[in-house]
């Protein structure tokens, strides 16, 4: 064997069972051959329990892909969101974490930066695991109906991993159902962006024809027909967006086909609108609304309930206080890992639906948190906002003002921006006390479908009544009063409304903002320059606030619109073409 490939084998260990879903990171890439012993395959797929557990191993890696390359620990939870203009991560001084490396354009080892490489390898490892499953499940002593359902789940998971790779890398090597043997040619090229989108879309169509409309309670967290259709909605919205729809920054040739479509086609917006409308027409999902308990309380509920009418697909996590433990301030038992920016704070409208600089908004810079969109209070902890205190068992003010003991700006392991996140946190818990939360990772919910539809329909044929209705449903649930938009908005006007609604509705949620500003091709405008925080200084019982720059960020175009194919993979295959700028 050529010494270049002598050690390029990835061994899937089937026994003991726990190794099936250990999800240990490997430096080996997806192009490394899989050596699966025939005896081990026979053992696993001759047993129904082991067959289920093998597929569960593919589910187990979903949190890793959802948050870059190390799940919900360390830098993973913030790798994407904190690389947007919405927030800043705790590890600002080290480029060993993805967000600061991205923000400062200081990638370690360039295209072999470990965070990129791990994400690439983890996703492709699980795609290969799905292929192993699909190639062997028919030999399992499971009923025919159950096998069909498991095949649908497996194909959904494969499409899900492919989608996450697509949004980072664009055109991908497509393995199909193929399993690589020891003597097979594995020198695969990347397929074009168009081919990759078509493949994922076709797989999701096939899944939606197999998967059930709903899952049994014991199977909640497994994909449904609606999940497949919702992921297709997200996929086609990405494909219709400026970065990929004829405006990709490649200089030409084969690289241009990989980076996006070569020409603009307005009909791609129609396809995206139709895909979102198909989910709406299922009549299975609805926004969680409750403006009686408190304004916008339905928004809070949908993000703290494990299951509700809005959730389409959730990645299941163990019951615990892990959101509270990571996000809340130190005095509330948390680790204060991620810090919203003033830019995000400014994006929230006032409670009357007007933007802060709009005439009649009622905004005051000295009292900037008063009468804001209720989603603001359910997403961000600001100076003197209250949270449950362990000692008193009552909500008490959180001191985020400059040099306040425990949580203050400028103190060790606390906020760098003057803010902390509270989204997904149960208001009856701290990081190590109170109720136990059971929310998973929210991947697809109905609010996204409504805004996907509104964006695509507006881009295709302007702000008609259905666009207004979709956006206003989100604003009504948020508790804005009035929630209605002004009549007579132009397409450009509505585009800005929709983009801002996406920002405030999905803040810190699967990094929508990070990928939105890239697909809209506005990243060089919004991700360059000073990132702003708020420094409050206490004077007696009063607070004086000053905006300040906590970091100067750099966005390099076209390099940072796409992640690099890991250089180690490029070195293995003469057919892999690198992304623009790398």
Could you tell me which of 457, 449, 460, 458 has the C-alpha nearest to residue 264? Answer: 460
Q: What is the pLDDT of residue 328?
A: 96
Question: Between 442 and 64, whose confidence is greater?
Answer: 442
**Which residues 6+ apart lie within 8 Å of 184 measured at CB?**
33
Confidence of residue 86 (pLDDT cuts 50, 70, 90): very high
Instruction: Give me the pLDDT at residue 181, please.
Output: 61
Give 412-454 pLDDT, tens digit per residue. 889 999 999 999 999 999 999 999 988 888 999 999 999 999 9
pLDDT at 95 over 60: yes
* Neighbouring C-beta atoms of residue 185, cutoff 10 Å: 6
pLDDT of residue 35: 39
Residue 429 has φ and ψ, to the nearest 5°, of -145, 155
pTM across the whole model: 0.92
What is the arithmetic mean of pLDDT over 95-110? Answer: 80
Residue 206 has pLDDT above 80, yes or no: yes
Cα-Cα end-to-end distance for the chain: 31
Mean pLDDT of 262-277: 97
Report the chain's mean pLDDT, rounded to a whole number: 89
412-415 contacts, C-beta under 8 A, 24 or more apart: 413/90, 413/330, 413/335, 413/336, 414/329, 414/330, 414/336, 415/329, 415/336, 415/339, 415/533
pLDDT at 56: 94
What integer pLDDT is reported at residue 573 of this predicted model?
Answer: 83
Max CA distance (Å), the chain: 76
- On whether the CB atoms of residues 118 and 70 are closer than 8 A, the answer is yes
Please check the confidence at residue 6 and state whether its pLDDT lies above 80. Answer: no
Token pair, residue 582, equals 């790398």
Give the per-residue pLDDT at 310: 97
pLDDT higher than threshold 80 for residue 167: yes
| pLDDT confidence bin for 540, thresholds 50/70/90 | very high
- For residue 276, name the pLDDT band (cuts at 50, 70, 90): very high
Element (H, E) at 397: strand 395-397
Region of 395 (left: φ > 0; alpha: ψ -120 to 50; beta: rest) is beta
Q: 72-86, 103-117, 230-244, 447-461: which has the minimum mean pLDDT?
A: 72-86
Distance CA 510, CA 69 (A): 13
Mean pLDDT of 115-142: 91
Evaluate whether 50 touches 14 at the Cβ level (below 8 Å): yes
Output phi, psi for 295, to 5 deg: -60, 130
**Residue whose pair of structure tokens reads 């870059």 in the numeric block:** 68
pLDDT grade, residue 25 (50/70/90)?
Answer: very low
CA 100 to chain centre: 18
Q: What is the percent of the chain where pLDDT is above 90?
A: 73
Q: How confident is the model at residue 23 (pLDDT cuts 50, 70, 90)?
A: very low
């Amino acid at each position: 064997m050529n010494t270049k490939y002598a050690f390029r084998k990835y061994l899937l260990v089937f026994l003991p069972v726990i190794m099936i879903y250990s999800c240990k990171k490997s430096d080996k890439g997806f192009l490394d051959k899989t050596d699966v012993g025939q005896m081990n395959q026979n053992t696993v797929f001759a047993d129904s329990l082991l067959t289920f557990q093998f597929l569960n191993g593919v589910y187990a890696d979903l949190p890793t892909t959802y948050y870059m390359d190390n799940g919900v620990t360390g830098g993973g939870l913030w790798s994407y969101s904190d690389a947007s203009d919405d927030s800043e991560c705790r590890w600002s001084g080290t480029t060993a974490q993805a967000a600061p490396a991205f923000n400062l354009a200081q990638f370690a080892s360039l295209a072999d930066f470990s965070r990129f490489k791990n994400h690439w390898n983890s996703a492709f490892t699980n795609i290969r695991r799905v292929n192993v499953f699909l190639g062997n499940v028919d030999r399992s002593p499971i009923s025919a109906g159950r096998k069909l359902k498991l095949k649908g789940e497996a194909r959904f998971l494969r499409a899900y991993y492919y989608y996450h790779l697509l949004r980072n890398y664009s055109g991908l090597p497509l393995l199909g159902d193929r399993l690589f043997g020891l003597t097979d040619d594995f020198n695969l090229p990347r397929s074009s962006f168009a081919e990759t989108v078509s493949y994922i879309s076709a797989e999701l169509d096939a899944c939606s024809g197999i998967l059930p409309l709903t899952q049994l309670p014991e199977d909640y967290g497994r994909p449904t027909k609606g999940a497949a259709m919702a992921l297709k909605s997200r996929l086609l919205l990405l494909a219709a967006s400026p970065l990929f729809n004829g405006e990709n920054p490649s200089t030409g040739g084969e690289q241009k086909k990989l980076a996006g479509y070569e020409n603009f086609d307005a009909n791609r917006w129609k396809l995206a609108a139709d895909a979102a409308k198909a989910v709406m027409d299922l009549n299975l999902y609805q926004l969680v609304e409750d403006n009686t308990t408190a304004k916008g309380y339905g928004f809070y509920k949908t993000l703290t309930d494990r299951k509700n009418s809005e959730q389409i697909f959730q990645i299941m996590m163990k019951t615990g206080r892990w959101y509270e433990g990571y996000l809340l301030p130190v005095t509330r038992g948390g680790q204060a890992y991620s810090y919203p920016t003033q830019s995000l704070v400014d994006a929230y409208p006032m409670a009357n639906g007007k933007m802060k600089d709009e005439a009649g908004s009622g905004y005051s810079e000295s009292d900037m948190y008063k009468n804001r969109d209720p989603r603001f209070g359910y997403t961000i902890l600001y100076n003197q906002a209250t949270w449950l205190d362990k000692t008193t068992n009552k909500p008490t003010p959180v001191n985020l003002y400059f040099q306040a003991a425990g949580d203050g700006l400028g103190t060790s392991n606390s906020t760098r921006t003057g803010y902390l996140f509270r989204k997904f946190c149960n208001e009856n818990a701290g990081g190590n006390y109170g109720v136990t939360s059971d929310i998973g990772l929210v991947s697809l919910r109905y609010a996204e479908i409504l805004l996907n539809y509104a964006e695509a329909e507006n881009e295709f044929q302007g702000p008609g009544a259905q666009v207004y209705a979709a956006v206003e449903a989100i604003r009504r649930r948020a508790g804005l009063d009035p929630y209605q938009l002004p009549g007579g908005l132009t397409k450009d006007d509505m585009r800005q409304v929709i983009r801002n609604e996406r920002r405030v509705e999905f803040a810190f949620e699967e990094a929508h903002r990070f990928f939105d500003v890239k697909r809209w091709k506005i990243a060089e405008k919004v991700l360059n320059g000073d990132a702003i925080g708020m420094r409050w200084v206490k004077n007696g019982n009063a607070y004086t606030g000053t905006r300040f720059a906590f970091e100067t960020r750099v966005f390099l175009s076209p390099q940072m619109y796409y992640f690099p194919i890991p250089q180690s993979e490029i070195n293995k295959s003469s057919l892999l073409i690198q992304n623009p700028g790398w």
